Amino acid sequence: MDDTAKFDTIAGQGGETHQHVRHSGPHTPEGHLTTNQGIRVSDNQNSLKSGVRGPTLLEDFVLREKIFHFDHERIPERIVHARGSAAHGYFELTRSLSDITTADLFQRVGERVPVFVRFSTVAGGAGSVDTPRDVRGFAVKFYTQEGNWDLVGNNIPVFFIQDAIKFPDLVHAVKMEADRGYPQAASAHDTFWDFVSLMPESTHMLMWAMSDRTLPRAFRTMEGFGIHTFRFVNAEGKSTFVKFHWKPKLGLQSLVWDESLKIQAADNDFHRRDVFEAIDRGAFPEWELGVQLFDQALADSLPYDVLDATKIIPEEVVPVTIVGRMVLDRNPDNFFAEVEQVAYCPANIIPGIDFSNDPLLQGRLFSYLDTQLKRLGSTNFHQLPINAPKCPFQNFQRDGQMQMQVPRGRANYEPNSLGAHGEDGGPRECPVTGFTTVSARDGADEQGGKLRVRPEMFADHYSQARLFWKSQTDSERAHIASAFVFELSKVTLQGVAPRMVANLRNVDDELATRVADGLGIDLPAASQVAREPIDLAPSDALSIQKNLKPTLQGRKIGILICKDSDATVFSQLKADITAAGATPFVVGGQIHGIPLSDGSLADADAQLLGAPSQLFDAVFVLLSEAGTGRHLKEAASIEWVMNAFGHLKAIGHMPEAQPLLDKAGVVRDAGVVGVDGFIAAAAQRFFDREPSLRTLA
């Protein structure tokens, strides 16, 4: 048979004509399509039938194997953080910590360690949208020379609960409700608010969750946090407490709420696409790694417990020292093999780093290993390429499903004396360089006994929620209050919203009043507190708007063109945007061959209906006079401009496009500019514009 023929028409029985469909393939031996047993497949289009019209034969091992494998393609999705995207890269040390930790990756400045980083939403399923209001996972696997270290963090530095025993309750409450199976990827529903309003310890995290931190513009523009207090251990065995921070090179950027909703309609894969495309075009996402280092004496002096994952230590109290940078420079080759199968585990730790007694962390140390067995189906999941250490690993663990290694010899136990008999006795313990646990007792746990209790200071649930509120700009406070109103407005269970507002009164009376007014309920009395909140000094590091970088780096700028658009401005704009490190994205009524003012033909990157302005950081309306006239009758164009304005973005425009801006209700302000000044304006959002556009709580 001719391997290159695409279609053979063969005369079948009964005089019918049948298409025998085959695809050509490369001619190299490696290119041959085979079964999983290596048998070359001659026909991948037609099953084996008894006669031309069937039935299909059970004998068809090619068909059976293919469908058998397909039937089992899905593995259980992660119970939380099911939707995620990941990339390869490296961590590079910029400041040695050799006096503080023996961890290999923190010794020699300039040395690089490979990493694999997965970002995720928490509540939604694997196929849910990228931009709900949700916490984002930020999980980093460092493949160090001394084994894998997983820093499994979030983009928020605190958590909803203090003790891992509450995690199943929290997750049940936030995920879709048990009887009805909705809502998907949303916390705005009865069971979530019922639970958290009964859990005052969640209040601090709720403040973060209702802020724009849960609406990141991109994975590349969010911070990451290890959350728990960990320990560094040096060569003398001295331990130092450490908290880990990832700081994005592009600065913090978030979406506004209405924009994130509209993005859900326009592009479910907004964040996934952003990070993949950025790496593809060489704009590698980058973060600095910072550490907060402190000792037991400092921990003891704080009015909160460093083992409590609902508390931060403000950067103003313990500064963040930058020690390295992380660059993501390679997309995965295969989503399933790498992103789906990667198994993070906070218990994956290396010599020189150790856990603290944080009860949330302690519970996590069990949960992640356990869940991988469910997800990946075998205790040998560590042998998958994405999970395997890049340094040698060997021990006497044996067998199990899907064993990929072929250990040699008789030594599958130790101690053994096989070495003395000329055989390979296998690996041995490393008392000096091996992992040892710090024997420190984290200060307060000398009280002894086996107790189901929490340390007394854990009972202060409001001081840091208040600190967060006080540290925000007016615009950010309005967003937080409005988010509480929106979420609680979706709650139908009697008593839940007042109970939540009663908790908020302990944070700040003004916040509670704004939320109560927004809901139209009476202001309830403050709920009882287990420990009186205290006033802590505000921290600018907690605000997004105080930490925005006015840069165009990494941004995407939409340019709306039409027939006769000014060719000179068009090419100048594209050049300026590119030079500033952003990506110009051309939107047109058609995609191909749009004639510009000088007769040249331009191609658009997308058609108007497929590229609404919520997908861009700023827009330029490059319409000719006649084009403006046509666009005045086009709802998508009016919305394009109106939404850009409503989402507080810079709008650049030709004078000829003014009628479209007028029709879209655009009022001139510092963000509405001509060609001059557009590049400077496009690097910002215009939060001052907001109060005139929408009612915020």
List residues with catalytic annotation: 81, 154
| Least distance between ligand HDD and beta carbon 52 (Å) | 50
Residue 164 exposure: Cα atoms within 13 Å on the Cβ side: 14
- Write out the binding residues for ligand HDD, residues 332-351 only, by CB under 6 A: 342, 344
Q: Interface with ligand HDD includes 244 (CB under 6 A)?
A: no
Q: Does 658 bind ligand HDD (CB under 6 A)?
A: no
Structure tokens at 425: 């006795």
State the nearest-atom distance from the C-beta of 620 to ligand HDD, in Å: 37
Cβ-contact 243, 309 below 8 angstroms: no
276 in contact with ligand HDD (CB under 6 A): no
Options 124, 132, 147, 153; binder of ligand HDD; rule CB under 6 A: 153
Among 124, 137, 200, 351, binds ligand HDD (CB under 6 A): 137
Q: How many residues bind ligand HDD (CB under 6 A)?
A: 25
Q: Which is nearer to ligand HDD, 167 or 645 (CB)?
A: 167
367 binds ligand HDD (CB under 6 A): yes
Q: Is 79 in the site for ligand HDD (CB under 6 A)?
A: yes
Q: Given candidates 276, 335, 368, 686, which one binds ligand HDD under the rule CB under 6 A? A: 368
Q: Is 206 in the site for ligand HDD (CB under 6 A)?
A: no
143 marked ligand binding residue: no
**Under the criterion CB under 6 A, does residue 80 sit at the interface with ligand HDD?**
yes
Q: Is 393 annotated as a binding residue?
A: no
d(CA 674, CA 697): 33
CA 387/CA 260 separation, integer angstroms: 33
Cis peptide before 55 (omega within 30 of 0): yes
| CA–CA dist 626, 35 (Å, integer) | 61
Q: Does 141 bind ligand HDD (CB under 6 A)?
A: no
* Binding pattern for the stretch 556-585 against ligand HDD, x by CB under 6 A and - elsewhere: ------------------------------
Instruction: Please state, in angstroms and rounded to a whole number, the distance separating the CA atoms of residues 185 and 131.
Output: 9
Cα gap 258→612, rounded to integer Å? 13
CA 424 vs CA 366, 411, 428: distances in Å: 34, 7, 11
Q: Which stretch binds ligand HDD (CB under 6 A): 186-194, 271-279, 289-297, 363-371?
A: 363-371
118 forms part of the interface with ligand HDD (CB under 6 A): yes
- Show Cβ contacts of residue 377 under 8 Å, excluding neighbours closer than 6 positions: 75, 401, 402
* Position closest to ligand HDD via CB: 137
Where do we find the tokens 């400045």?
109
143 - beta bridge partners?
148
Closer residue to ligand HDD in complex, CB, 168/674? 168
Told to check if 102 binds ligand HDD by CB under 6 A, we report: no
Calculate the alpha carbon distances from 545 to 134, 540, 651, 686 in Å. Answer: 19, 9, 20, 11
668: annotated binding-site residue?
no
Residue 167 assigned as binding residue: yes
Helix (H) or strand (E) holding 127: none
Give the pair of three-digit tokens for residue 535: 């006033």
Q: With left for phi above 0 and alpha for psi between -120 and 50, is residue 187 left, alpha or beta?
A: alpha
Stretch that binds ligand HDD, among 283-291, 358-366, 556-564, 657-665 (CB under 6 A): 358-366
Q: State yes or no: residue 208 binds ligand HDD (CB under 6 A).
A: no
Q: How far is the CB of 307 from ligand HDD (least distance, A)?
A: 12
Please report how close the Cβ of residue 226 comes to ligand HDD at its closest, in angstroms.
Answer: 8
Q: Is 271 in the site for ligand HDD (CB under 6 A)?
A: no
Instruction: Give the list of residues 6+ apart from residue 104 with CB closer than 8 angstroms, or none.
Output: 144, 145, 146, 350, 351, 352
CA distance 64 to 70: 10
Number of H-type helices and E-type strands within the chain: 17, 20
SS3 144: strand
Cβ closest to ligand HDD, residue 81 vs residue 382: 81
Cβ atoms of residues 369 and 378 within 8 Å: no
- 270 in a labelled binding site: no
Q: Binding of ligand HDD at residue 149 (CB under 6 A)?
A: no
Tokens of 160: 């909803």
- 325 annotated ligand binder: no
81-100 positions binding ligand HDD, by CB under 6 A: 81, 84
Q: Minimum CB separation from ligand HDD for residue 325, in Å?
A: 20
Sign of the CA dihedral 395, 401, 404, 409? positive
Known binding-site positions for heme = 78, 118, 167, 364, 368, 375
Point out which residues bind ligand HDD (CB under 6 A).
78-81, 84, 118, 120, 137, 139, 152-154, 159, 164, 167, 227, 309, 342, 344, 360, 363-364, 367-368, 371
